[in-house]
Amino acid sequence: MKKFKFKLKPVLELRKNREEQVQMELALVSRRLDSALQDYNNNLEHRDKTSIKLENLKVCPGGIEDLILYQNYIEGVDHRLSMELGSIQEIRGEVDEVKRRLFNAARDRKAIEKLEEKQKNIYANMVRRLEDKFLDDMGTVRSARKGI
């Protein structure tokens, strides 16, 4: 008897490849998100340190020019932080979209794999029935020979 061959094997391979591509895309987008979050945290920490320096300048007598420079710099950093937050939200949206696509790709692959498993079971049952029939026929022939 011929060996089992799944006719939709190329489709299954295509679905596996598509899932792997989406997984790689998710990894790239996740790295971008991690990088953006790290930049945001670094800038936030830098802003906090600069704010402390500004508070120290307010306590110590010094030039008003330094206070204005620090204040303008902090406002610029705040603006950059708000821009980074918008970027982070965009990247999170991309991550969610890629996760949704990965879920769909995995679901499609699993559907084909279940179909393959079902066809393998049907094939195995058919082979088992043929073997049983063959063995029954052999038993019938032996019984007939003994009776002759």
The 10s digit of each residue's pLDDT in 26-84 is 999 999 999 999 999 999 999 999 888 888 777 776 677 877 888 888 899 999 999 99
What count of residues does the chain have? Answer: 148
- Helices vs strands, H then E, count in the chain: 2, 0
Own/partner contacts of 142-147, CB < 8 Å, gap of 24 or more, are none
Residue 13 confidence (pLDDT): 95
Angle at 12 between CA 6 and CA 14, to 5 degrees: 135
What's the one-letter identity of residue 35? S
- pTM for the whole structure: 0.75
Q: How far is CA 133 from CA 25, 125, 128, 142, 144, in A?
A: 53, 12, 9, 14, 16
Tell me the per-residue pLDDT of 96-131, one tens digit each, with 9 for 90 and over.
Answer: 999 999 999 999 999 999 999 999 999 999 999 999
pLDDT over 80 (residue 89): yes
Residue predicted with more confidence, 139 or 42: 42
Contact between 88 and 36 under an 8 Å Cβ cutoff? The reply is yes
CA distance linking residue 39 with residue 29, whole number of Å: 15
